[in-house]
Structure 1
Amino acid sequence: MKKLLFLLFFLSLSFSYAQDYFPTDAGVKTTENTLTAFTNAKIYVTSKKILKKATLLIENGKVIAIGKSVKIPKNAKTINLEGKTIYPSFVDIYSNFGIKKPNRKTSNSRRTQYEASREGYYWNDHIRSDVNPLKAFSFDSKQAKELINAGFGVVNTHMEDGIIRGNGLLVALNPNSSDAYRILDTKSAQYLSFSKSVTSLQVYPGSIMGAMALLRQTYNDASWYANGNMKNKDLALEALNANKNLVQIFKTSNLLDAFRADKVGDEFGIQYTIVGSGDEYERVADIKSTNANFIIPVNFSNAYDVSNPLLAQQISLRDMRKWNQEPSNLKVLAENGVNFALTTNTLKSVKTFHKNLQKAIKYGFSKEKALAALTAIPANILGNTKIGNLNEGSYANFIITSGDIFDAKTTLYENWVQGSKNMVNDMSVKDLSGNYMLSVNNKTYDLTISGKGAKQTAVIKLGDKKIKSKFSFIDDWISITLNEDSGYTRMMGQTINAANVMQGTAFDTLGNETSWSAAKKVKKQDKKKKNKKEKEEPIVVLPVSYPNLGFGNYELPKTETILIKNATVWTSEDAGILENTDVLLKDGKIEKIGKNLKARGANIIDGTNKHLTAGIVDEHSHIATSAVNEWAQNSTAEVTIEDVVDPNDINIYRNLSGGTTTAQILHGSANPIGGRSAIIKLKWGENADNMIYDNSPKFIKFALGENVKQSRSPNGTRFPQTRMGVEQLFVDYFTRAKEYDALKKNGKPYRKDDEMETLAEILNGERHISCHSYVQSEINMLMKVADRMGFKVNTFTHILEGYKVADKMKEHGVGGSTFSDWWAYKYEVNDAIPYNAAIMHNAGVTVAINSDDREMSRRLNQEAAKTIKYGGMSELDAWKTVTINPAKLLHIDDRVGSIKEGKNADVVLWSHHPMSIYTKAEKTIIDGRIFFDRAKDKEKRLAIQKEKSTLINMMLNEKMNGGKTKPPMIREDRNFECDTLEELKN
């Protein structure tokens, strides 16, 4: 009998190979699309509606009935799924499935491309709303198999190229069908991003703020076109208007870009669905306030290899925190009521999707919400009721599992798409995984089986010694071969008692026949699991600070009533310096100045032997921004630094430590007419919008000289190339602006042009110019052009030859914002002298000392002191160059720049004389909120050291327990200067 069993076993194997139905781990089996009933299953109709012992009836790719009492037609094929679970197949609505990104265009030409290369389309190649991905779509069976194996049934795909990228395709991952059937929607969404197209070398936009400006202008032009105001046909604008009612899906690469996209959408009444980047937990309240739907990747960083202590020191706290905090992102979003779907986007391999999602669940993300984020929510975002659920009439897209889909031990058996079966793991193969006691030849071995389906493997030990062995489980037959010193032992057999016991026939190395058996060690396994669970350390997620890096605030400073007593007060007003004086700050304002002041409940600060000044105002800075130059056109008045304020820049905190409270963040000097400014308060921890001044005065950056004519650029081909060309450019643009403004004021229809709108504001005295300048001839030139065209220059910044034309500056009414002692760093500053500021001041020009540098901006107090040495300015006048004078140049002197009752409570308490090299800012206060406190700064430094040690130990533990690690990375801070040119990515 035993020999007969052995013969039957090998005959069955031979037959299996002959018929080619040997089970594979992810084979696709073509089945006829017939009436099929799946019975006795636990069915998730949706994430909230769950049926037990229920029946799912499908026909022709659709669900025709579902419930506990479904009447099964006689001609239906019935599949008993007792003990199994059915879920709706997953939906990924951000994908490039089946659509290859176009090849990157290259050129050997040294000339820069400024014009568009497509005729009959929009003036900018990166607006590609006309792209129809259907033309490029080719069903990718290999990629489809990976997605099917992960549980996905539908993807929303698109051409991942350009700023406006065209429409999307909704595709069922049905490898057993044709495109005509599996493409569910040829216009499922419209896609956008901040990345340029790889098919064009057109340089504009060259920055993130340029991309935002281009989007705004495109929407303006689309509206103008829709009203029939353009003579020429524009296929891109036609497509944009045709797609305007589709879901608008916007791809972003970081948290700040998500807010920037939402800002543009809000301006035009468009609610984007935003593809996030996994760092939304850092500003979840602001994410919530966008009211946007989000699509969130499930892609987590590996721990750093911190085994080398010297290299570990170089890793920023911000990057260490990211590894620790980002697995909690989904939980945080869900708990804060943000509506989001999940995507496989950014994953190197779809195979890691479930592992990462299980990690997120371990960090507290609800399984119910996870299922909703993979089914109902993406379907609802697209407005498609036929996917993401198993209601009657929906597509028969569902997965069959051994249990909880989000449990690591669950096996996904089949994924049915449009009623077509795709086998992932053979359901007929039993799960033998577990620990067994194997008995054969009077020996007892430890047998451990792991894996799923036909890929189950085994490890066999005798005591502590691992035995060489081979194991296979095919068609319910078990085959084991042991290779020991005594020879080979071959075993075959089957399972009984629901796989808790295995038994069969064994043959030793001499061919002697005996029996073998293996019993599952159920009790010991449960005990080990229990002990392991008890030993598992709780997950520790470190708290988020604002911003989420070293020196961030765990709670934002609150407005206090503060009474500073007995200080030496530098008013920067006619009152001059007041000795032993009290200053009361209340409700964010300077309430009272005097002696022996009292205030109930006030935070009293002793200012004895200390100096109190207004916060320093930096008229020219490039900190706290994500971009500085939109260099790709000679006039970029349409862009604004307000779009790219970066509240995470550590230089904000460093500037506070040097007493700076306000800064004008200027566009760079890459073009004659640059971008608009952002005037911000350095409110460390606030979001970008809350840093920008309310009712902020309007400014724009102009530039003259070497930078704009591209003197040091070997490939510079843009007009102008000479200083006289710069003059002509100003004349040309303001002539156009006058014509534009006249047309607008006449009430006639006009095409809104954001660039011309800005220049018209200058003509109407609504926007002020801060101009980068060096050489006296050009300074004279711009004042003459301004007089001729009817506008004023507000400030000449740098102005190192200002001493030569101070009288003319006074006559024109322009101020000077200069360096104290910079010179000889390029040709056009060869005539700079350290007496420049004093000479302009003595001529009656309003003079400020600016930084234009992230380091100098935290020691402007010392830069002001240099005007005393060079030029003999008084202490009071010297101090005004960094307080009230720059405030006057920025038209905010009614709010800040001096200590005066009614002004904003922006003050600094210094340990010594404010211009001493020994002084330190002890407290920097903005709007009555203490944003820098030197005593707390010391506490923060210790806390950072302690937190890094905690994270290093956590990472070491991760590595010791077999987790993946990556090499240490040093984060380099970007240092933006006037001539910094960054490139917007393709």
Structure 2
Amino acid sequence: MKKILFLIVLSLITSTISAQDYFPINENVKNKSTNYTAFTNAKIYVTPTQVIEKGTLLILDGKIIAVGTTVSIPKNCQVINIDGKSIYPSFIDIYTNFGVEKPKSISSFEGGQLYDTKRKGYYWNEHIRPEINAFELFKYDEKKAEDFLKIGFGVVGTHNQDGIARGTGSLIALNNAPNSSKIISNSISNHFGFTRSSGSAQSYPNSLMGMMALLRQMYYDLDWYKKGNSETTDLSLEALAKNEKLIQIFASEDKLNSLRASKIGNEFNINYLLKGFGNEFERIDEIKKTNARFIIPINFPEAYDVSNIFQANQMELTDLRYWNQAPTNPKVLSDNGITFALTTDKLKKLDDFRTNLLRAIKLGFDKTKALESLTTIPAQMLDKSNEIGSLKVGSYANFLITSGEIFSEETLLFENWVQGTKYVVNDGTIKDIRGDYDLTLDNDTYKMKIEGKIASPKVNIKTKEDKTVSSKFSFSNNWITLILKSKDTINPSINRLTGYVENTSNISGKAILNDGKEVSWSAIKTAPFVNKEEVKEVEKPFKVFPVTYPNLPFGNSQKLVSQNLLFKNATVWTNEKEGILQETDVLVKNGKIVTIGKNISDASATIIDAKGKHITSGIIDEHSHIAISRGVNESGHNSTAEVTIEDVVNSEDVNIYRELAGGVTTSQLLHGSANPIGGRSAIVKWKWGLAPNEMLYKNQPKFIKFALGENVKQANWGIENPTRYPQTRMGVEQVFTDYFQRAKEYDDAWKSYRANSKNTKAPRKDLELQTLAEIINKERFITCHSYVQSEILMMMNVAEKFNFKMNTFTHILEGYKVADKMKEHGVGASTFSDWWAYKFEVNDAIPYNGPIMHNAGVVVAYNSDDAEMSRRLNQEAAKAVKYGNVSEEEAWKFVTLNPAKLLHIDDKVGSIKVGKDADLVVWNENPLSIYAKAEKTIIEGVVYFDIEKDTIQRDAITKEKNELISQLLEEKNKGMLTQEPTKKEKKEYHCDTLEEN
């Protein structure tokens, strides 16, 4: 027994020593003190596409001196023969926070909200911190470096992943040798993102649109500052100017945010390198149009445990589908010619990187492209191709030694060399003992199956009677330790086996039986190892479900196109002087209404029998908050005229489809009512499946949202919140007066500068004041959230003081009290049909409000301000008939022609007239009926909703969800990691919704 233990300990010591330099050394080498090292007889990947068979790699002082098949090996060189093994460049991850600690998070309510910066000499907004340098914060983390080294990385880019302008990033070599130079480049990149700085409590910006506006203002300020217009020094702008020539990396973290970041880049002629999310495949055409290069994570979601039917039922199809499709993202990007590097960012643990990458490769990601995305491409992105990413002469000696092809399931990574310093990952002498064996122990025979991974195999042992034997198995440094235990709970027997593997076909060793007797044991291989996972994959390929546009339930299998349509024998609500026409045809061609009448024919058009149906123009919602990304309110200041909803239209909101099902074709997406002067609006057509910019109404009039009342004075924000001016209704009036006076002075200063700019410094471009000046110059219209009569009159007085007119009062539930004054001023009204008493300032609301204003000659529209109500605005219009005796034709205009007039787009939409856009709805009966259903909703000749297609899609959704659940159950049965299903609560925005940061 002592002899065996001694042999085990001795072998462990010697094997540990040899593991430090395990490849055979050339016997002719006498002096090993030189720094030259030659690796011979290797398959060398100089680059992913330049491969040398039986080559030699020569390194000296951390650099590659020579590579090829005819390399002359210097005298006194250490020669390592790695015949049968491969050498690859070490990987590069250019997006990490390695060694850079994130700032401590500060709550915005610690000591109250902060509106101005406390920093002196820096930019006015604390979320802009370009002066931060990663190398000044950097502290090398040896343990974390080992985690990277084990999966093949030799170089990482690191930076402060916090804030909007985040400062510079450094390039770090993962060289764990003492006193080695870790930093390759102090400042190699300049970083940005769509997140607030956790180290600041400054309240602005607290929405995505605010962040985009702030970035624009920052770049305008930078340009102004560089031209010498500022009289003071700004250290933040100095840093921005200094770092303009660095690689500009923007963390967009979402497919739509990539489009938004690219938009800013195009505005300021900046070619951002975009750090994506992994969902780019869902909008690949738009991603391709950015012409941007990307950094792509591969943090694919784990399978969901859907074994509980109640939990499975609450799962969204979107999440199930994303689990299925996400691993195809690298392939889709590659197939579309998009240049990208891979990153470990967002992985729960670094060990998942290789697993996920191999999964992407199994689903079609080309292996050469995969290697490029980890080596040559990130090196090119950083303009460091002469130093890293390849094994060309002059590059750092950063390379991997593997047992074979690097992206093979069975390949082992033996060593990772960084700057000529070796890091051992796996013992190079390890043997593959997997397979089926006949195990003989003291005249007893067993069936032994060894499977799993080469470096960490698992064992299963059965008796001749096919009964499983309890066992404990370990394999290290080619030593086997095996304990066999009987299942007798009273007198269990334990047999201990140990052996060193020299020949994997015939393994033998010594054993100590339960009674202390020492015997020999042997295991004869009877069958080679077969990878069951690969066999299963061949038998049943993994089904990837097709992407839809958008990639949501009810998405389209392909992007829809305009059709020539001829509707026959319909009841047509024209909204024009012709009124309601019976048994009438409507011809649509090239997205326009071309003919209205009887007995129309056109051979190029698809004929739709509309007998018994009603055709109207599409419903227009003047006041909506659906389909907006990350915040409907920018509440950080009391005036945020610089922000625009156009930046944050969310084409992936299923409410768009629901609106189409309710006959809505056009909406104005408004900023909320958190501040007196809100943001600019976006007028959109609900072109389901298209990208956000394609939904924007072409050449749309300019609008902005103002607000009055309880919300802007923060009456309902809670005790800890109301710290921002104004706090009273009279304070609200003063905000408008002050800002319009400032805007007038700003406008005058620019007009003076343009008239005589030779010896004058340019005024600072201020996006906020520029927008307000557009109102004074009658270039932008106001939609104003309002309730009580006193404030309605006040707002009209302020407008008249600065010589412009209010365009629309929205909500305006006390409009009936001042309808005559509104008519005199020339303002329109967009109101609710019958909402009242939901807060104090609505106590005097009545359902006759709309009809009374209408009868006074005010242009009146009914709006939704609500995702649910917007689906039944036809029924809201009908209430004008009930509460006021408005005719059906006029009531219908409340949700069609009148909102079009308020939005100044009635020349294109709002009625059925030759030459107007073919935005039409086919109803099964009178659209004002509670039984009316939209059977077809058409925008510019494209059928975006069809009730028959909807029925088919519902069945298809059920089938797809069931198939995905079956896939997930299979994953669980294979023993794959799973996560608990969770129901995602979707946030529906209203006027007073505040974004949480």
Give the C-alpha shift of residue 112 in structure 1: 1.4
RMSD: 2.3
C-alpha separation in 2, matches of 1:878 and 1:106: 49
Give the C-alpha shift of residue 545 in structure 1: 0.9
Q: Deviations over 1:385-436 (max 9, x none)?
A: 1111111100100111111222222111100000000011121333333332
Paired residue for 2:707? 703
* Partner SS for 2:705: strand
Give the C-alpha shift of residue 252 in structure 1: 2.5
**Alpha carbons of structure 1 residues 473 and 566: separation in structure 2 relative to 1, 3 Å:** closer
Q: Deviations over 1:619-664 (max 9, x none)?
A: 1111111121001100000000011101111111111111110000
2:695 is matched with which residue: 691, 695, 712? 691
Q: Which amino acid aligns with 1:795?
A: T
Paired residue for 1:228? 228
Give the C-alpha shift of residue 885 in structure 1: 0.8
C-alpha separation in 1, matches of 2:473 and 2:610: 81
C-alpha separation in 2, matches of 1:117 and 1:675: 26
**Alpha carbons of structure 1 residues 412 and 896: separation in structure 2 relative to 1, 3 Å:** same
Q: Are 1:25 and 1:424, in contact at CA under 8 Å, matched by a contact in 2?
A: no
Paired residue for 1:303? 303
Q: Which amino acid aligns with 2:381?
A: I
Paired residue for 1:978? 991
Q: Which amino acid aligns with 2:297?
A: P
Which runs of structure 2 are paired with 1:342-357 in the superposition (5 Å)? Answer: 342-357=342-357
**Alpha carbons of structure 1 residues 875 and 531: separation in structure 2 relative to 1, 3 Å:** closer
Give the C-alpha shift of residue 460 in structure 1: 3.6
- Which range is displaced more, 415-424 or 113-122? 113-122
C-alpha separation in 2, matches of 1:454 and 1:954: 30
Give the C-alpha shift of residue 834 in structure 1: 1.5
In structure 2, runs of 5+ residues without a counterpart are: 23-31
C-alpha separation in 2, matches of 1:487 and 1:957: 38
Paired residue for 1:289? 289
* Partner SS for 1:215: helix
Q: In the alignment, is residue 187 of structure 1 matched against residue 183 of structure 2?
A: no
**Alpha carbons of structure 1 residues 129 and 75: separation in structure 2 relative to 1, 3 Å:** same
Which runs of structure 2 are paired with 1:90-489 in the superposition (5 Å)? Answer: 90-106=91-107, 109=110, 111-178=112-179, 181-385=181-385, 386-450=387-451, 458-463=459-464, 464-469=466-471, 476-478=478-480, 480=482, 482-483=484-485
Q: In the alignment, is residue 754 of structure 1 matched against residue 762 of structure 2?
A: no
* Partner SS for 2:567: strand
Q: Are 1:584 and 1:591, in contact at CA under 8 Å, matched by a contact in 2?
A: yes
Give the C-alpha shift of residue 973 in structure 1: 2.1
Paired residue for 1:603? 606
**Alpha carbons of structure 1 residues 146 and 552: separation in structure 2 relative to 1, 3 Å:** same
Paired residue for 2:526? 521
C-alpha separation in 2, matches of 1:716 and 1:303: 44
- Which range is displaced more, 148-157 or 313-322? 313-322
- Which range is displaced more, 142-151 or 795-804? 795-804
Paired residue for 1:671? 675
Paired residue for 2:621? 618
**Alpha carbons of structure 1 residues 472 and 843: separation in structure 2 relative to 1, 3 Å:** closer
**Alpha carbons of structure 1 residues 92 and 307: separation in structure 2 relative to 1, 3 Å:** same
Paired residue for 2:727? 721
Q: Deviations over 1:775-834 (max 9, x none)?
A: 111111111111111222111111111112112211211111111111111111122121
Which runs of structure 2 are paired with 1:631-642 in the superposition (5 Å)? Answer: 631-642=635-646
C-alpha separation in 2, matches of 1:534 and 1:545: 26
C-alpha separation in 2, matches of 1:934 and 1:490: 72
C-alpha separation in 1, matches of 2:723 and 2:33: 64
In structure 1, runs of 5+ residues without a counterpart are: none
Paired residue for 2:855? 842
Q: Which amino acid aligns with 1:609?
A: G
**Alpha carbons of structure 1 residues 423 and 603: separation in structure 2 relative to 1, 3 Å:** same
TM-score w.r.t. the length of structure 1 is 0.95
Q: Which amino acid aligns with 2:739?
A: Y
Paired residue for 1:34? 35
Which runs of structure 2 are paired with 1:907-926 in the superposition (5 Å)? Answer: 907-926=920-939
C-alpha separation in 2, matches of 1:751 and 1:18: 73
Q: Which amino acid aligns with 2:44?
A: I
Paired residue for 2:913? 900
Paired residue for 1:10? 6
Paired residue for 2:29? none
Q: Which amino acid aligns with 2:715?
A: S
**Alpha carbons of structure 1 residues 456 and 945: separation in structure 2 relative to 1, 3 Å:** closer
* Partner SS for 2:311: helix
- Which range is displaced more, 444-453 or 552-561? 444-453
C-alpha separation in 1, matches of 2:945 and 2:108: 51
C-alpha separation in 2, matches of 1:228 and 1:546: 48
Q: Which amino acid aligns with 1:625?
A: I
Paired residue for 1:501? 506
**Alpha carbons of structure 1 residues 89 and 699: separation in structure 2 relative to 1, 3 Å:** same
C-alpha separation in 1, matches of 2:901 and 2:982: 44
- Which range is displaced more, 479-488 or 294-303? 479-488
* Partner SS for 1:190: strand
C-alpha separation in 1, matches of 2:969 and 2:743: 63
Paired residue for 2:25? none
Give the C-alpha shift of residue 444 in structure 1: 2.8
Paired residue for 1:590? 593
**Alpha carbons of structure 1 residues 783 and 99: separation in structure 2 relative to 1, 3 Å:** same
Which runs of structure 2 are paired with 1:964-975 in the superposition (5 Å)? Answer: 964-975=977-988
Paired residue for 1:812? 825
Give the C-alpha shift of residue 242 in structure 1: 0.8
C-alpha separation in 1, matches of 2:252 and 2:38: 43
C-alpha separation in 2, matches of 1:337 and 1:837: 56
Q: Are 1:411 and 1:452, in contact at CA under 8 Å, matched by a contact in 2?
A: no
**Alpha carbons of structure 1 residues 401 and 20: separation in structure 2 relative to 1, 3 Å:** closer
**Alpha carbons of structure 1 residues 18 and 823: separation in structure 2 relative to 1, 3 Å:** same
Q: Which amino acid aligns with 1:845?
A: V
Q: Which amino acid aligns with 1:13?
A: V
C-alpha separation in 1, matches of 2:467 and 2:886: 88
Give the C-alpha shift of residue 445 in structure 1: 2.5
Give the C-alpha shift of residue 615 in structure 1: 0.5
Paired residue for 1:573? 576
Q: In the alignment, is residue 962 of structure 1 matched against residue 958 of structure 2?
A: no
Q: Are 2:108 and 2:202, in contact at CA under 8 Å, matched by a contact in 1?
A: no
* Partner SS for 2:326: helix
C-alpha separation in 1, matches of 2:744 and 2:34: 70
C-alpha separation in 2, matches of 1:618 and 1:429: 70
- Which range is displaced more, 89-98 or 355-364? 355-364
C-alpha separation in 2, matches of 1:304 and 1:477: 39
Q: Which amino acid aligns with 2:854?
A: H
Paired residue for 1:735? 741
* Partner SS for 1:294: strand
**What percentage of aligned pairs have identical amino acids?**
56
Q: Are 2:196 and 2:206, in contact at CA under 8 Å, matched by a contact in 1?
A: no
- Which range is displaced more, 138-147 or 403-412? 403-412
Q: Are 2:572 and 2:580, in contact at CA under 8 Å, matched by a contact in 1?
A: yes
Aligned length: 972
**Alpha carbons of structure 1 residues 942 and 865: separation in structure 2 relative to 1, 3 Å:** same
Q: Are 1:24 and 1:425, in contact at CA under 8 Å, matched by a contact in 2?
A: no
**Alpha carbons of structure 1 residues 222 and 405: separation in structure 2 relative to 1, 3 Å:** same
Q: Deviations over 1:184-236 (max 9, x none)?
A: 00111011111111111001001010011011101111111111111121111
C-alpha separation in 2, matches of 1:351 and 1:839: 69
Give the C-alpha shift of residue 454 in structure 1: 7.2
Q: Are 2:331 and 2:360, in contact at CA under 8 Å, matched by a contact in 1?
A: yes
C-alpha separation in 1, matches of 2:534 and 2:951: 43
C-alpha separation in 2, matches of 1:762 and 1:379: 50
Q: In the alignment, is residue 865 of structure 1 matched against residue 909 of structure 2?
A: no
Give the C-alpha shift of residue 477 in structure 1: 5.0
* Partner SS for 2:988: coil
C-alpha separation in 1, matches of 2:522 and 2:79: 35
Q: Which amino acid aligns with 1:432?
A: I
Q: Deviations over 1:211-268 (max 9, x none)?
A: 1101110111111111111112111111111111111111133222221111111111
Paired residue for 2:866? 853
Q: In the alignment, is residue 536 of structure 1 matched against residue 536 of structure 2?
A: no
Q: Are 1:679 and 1:693, in contact at CA under 8 Å, matched by a contact in 2?
A: yes
Give the C-alpha shift of residue 500 in structure 1: 2.7
Q: Deviations over 1:45-79 (max 9, x none)?
A: 11111111111111110111001111111211000
